[in-house]
Amino acid sequence: MRPQLGPSKAGSLEDKLLGFRGPALPGMPSAPAEKRALITGITGQDGSFLAEQLLAKGYEVYGIVRRLSTPNPQNIRHLLGTVHLLDGDLHDQASLETAIRFSEPDEIYNLAAQSFVGVSFNQPVVTGEVTGLGALRLLEAMRSRADKARLYQASSSEMFGQGVAERLNEGNGFHPRSPYGVAKVFAYWACVNYRESYGLYIANGILFNHESERRGLEFVTRKISDGVARIRHGLASDLHLGSLTSQRDWGYAPEYTDLMWRILQPTVAEDYVGATGETHSVEEFAREAFRAAGIDDWSRYIVTDRRFARPADVDHLCGDATKAKERLGWEAKVRFPELVHRMVQADLARHARTAPS
Ligand code: NDP
Ligand code: GDP
C-alpha cells in the first residue's frame, strides 16, 4: 500500500519557504491525479518549467529539494502549495529511497546536478559526486523501490565535447572536455547499463544548451542578458567575458522540458538528442542582446577577461534532433533572435524595478 505523505511531512519543507508561498495555480485538478512524477532539481531552470507542464497535464508532482542555509525558491515560488516538496540530496541514498517510497512515481526526472561547467574545474569531486554518482544512487533507489517507473536522465551535449561531426546526433561518440562532461558521461552509461542489465525503463535526453529568463546568472547567455540590461539602466559600465568565439546550439528551455516528457512516453525506452540545429557564437549572442536593448556600439562595453576562460573548452556544438522530430513529433520552434530578445526583455523589466529613475 502507498505510504501516506501526511500534511505535516509535506508542509515542513514548505513551511520553511512560507514567506515565498504563492497562490495555487489556476485550473489545478482537484480529483486524484492519474500519474505521479518525481523531479530532482525542481528548483532549477528546467525543473520549474517541467513541474508547471506536468501539473497542467494533471500529474501529481513531487520535487526533491536539498537543504541550503538560505532557501532559493524563486523559480518555484508560484508553484508552492501545488507541488509536494520532499527533503533530499543526491549525496544521500536514504533520502532518495524515502522520496521514491513516499511519492510512488510513475515517472522520475533526474534533473539535479552541479550543472555549471566552469565550477566543475574548481570542484571536480563534488561534480563527480552529484552529477555522476548522484545519478547512480537514484538508479539504485529506482531499482529497489520503483522498478516499474520510467526514469529520464538529463544528459548533455557537453558529453560530445570535442565532437567530430558538424551536427551531432545519438550515434556520435563522446569526448568530454570538463569534469562536468566526464560526470555526465558516467551517468549516461550508468543509465544505459541499468536499462540493459535490469530491463528498467530509463531514457537519456542528450540536450543541447537551452536557456530562459530562469537560467542561472553564471551561464554566458544569462550573464549577457543581465549585463546588457544593467548597462541599459546605468547600473553597470561594462561586461567581462571569456571566449567570444565559442559556438553553441541555444534553444528555449520550456520546449526542452516538453521534450523530456515526450521521451518517457513511447513503449520502449530510447535515448534522444534535443537541439535547434543552429549554432551561434558568444559574440553573436552579445551583439544580438545589445541590439535588443537598443545599444548599437556594443563592442565598447565588452572586456575580454581571462578569468572566464576554461582550462579546456568546447569550441563548437550543433545538434541534429531528427530522431526526436520523427519519433516524438518534437521540434524547437523558438529561434536564436527570439530567444535573445525574450531574455533581454525579461532582464530589462527586472532591473527597471530597481534602477534609479
Ligand atoms: P540548474 O542548475 O538550473 O538546476 C540544477 C538543480 O539541481 C537545482 O534544482 C539544484 O538545487 C539541484 N541540485 C544541485 N545539487 C544537488 C544535490 N546535491 N542534491 C539535490 N539537488 C541538487 O540546471 P538546469 O535546470 O539548467 O538543468 C537541468 C539538468 O539538465 C541538469 O542536470 C543539467 O546538467 C542538465 N542539462 C542542462 C542543459 C541546459 O542547457 N540547461 C543542457 C544539457 C543538460 P539548488 O536550487 O538547491 O541549487
Ligand atoms: P556550457 O556550454 O554549459 O559551458 O554553458 P556556458 O554558458 O557556461 O558557456 C558557454 C560558452 O561560453 C563556453 O564555451 C564558455 O567558455 C563561453 N564563455 C565565454 N565567456 C563566458 C563567461 O563569462 N561565462 C560563461 N559561463 N561562459 C563564457
Q: Are 277 and 319 in contact (CB under 8 A)?
A: yes
Ligand 1, atom 45, residue with closest C-alpha: 43
* The ligand 2 atom nearest the CA atom of 314: 14
Q: Is 47 in the pocket of ligand 1 (CB under 6 A)?
A: yes
Q: Is 200 in the pocket of ligand 1 (CB under 6 A)?
A: no
Q: Is 57 in the pocket of ligand 2 (CB under 6 A)?
A: no
CA atoms of 338 and 292, how far apart (whole Å):
10
pTM: 0.94
Per-residue pLDDT 10s for the chain (357 aa) are 454 443 334 445 565 554 433 333 333 444 557 899 999 999 999 999 999 999 999 999 999 999 999 999 999 999 999 999 999 999 999 999 999 999 999 999 999 999 999 999 999 999 999 999 999 999 999 999 999 999 999 999 999 998 778 999 999 999 999 999 999 999 999 999 999 999 999 999 999 999 999 999 999 999 999 999 999 999 999 999 999 999 999 999 999 999 999 999 999 999 999 999 999 999 999 999 999 999 999 999 999 999 999 999 999 999 999 999 999 999 999 999 999 999 999 999 999 987 766
Q: Are 180 and 120 in contact (CB under 8 A)?
A: yes
Q: Which ligand is nearest to the CA of 161?
A: 2
Distance 44 CA to ligand 1 centre (A): 5
* The ligand 1 atom nearest the CA atom of 209: 40
CA atoms of 295 and 287, how far apart (whole Å):
9
Q: Are 77 and 20 in contact (CB under 8 A)?
A: yes
All domains of the chain in start order, with CATH: 14-212+252-274 (3.40.50.720), 220-247+279-314+335-352 (3.90.25.10)
Distance 155 CA to ligand 1 centre (A): 11
pLDDT for the residue numbered 165: 86
CA atoms of 311 and 247, how far apart (whole Å):
17
**41 is written with which cell numbers?**
532539481
Q: Is 225 in the pocket of ligand 2 (CB under 6 A)?
A: no
CA atoms of 97 and 143, how far apart (whole Å):
10
Distance 220 CA to ligand 2 centre (A): 5
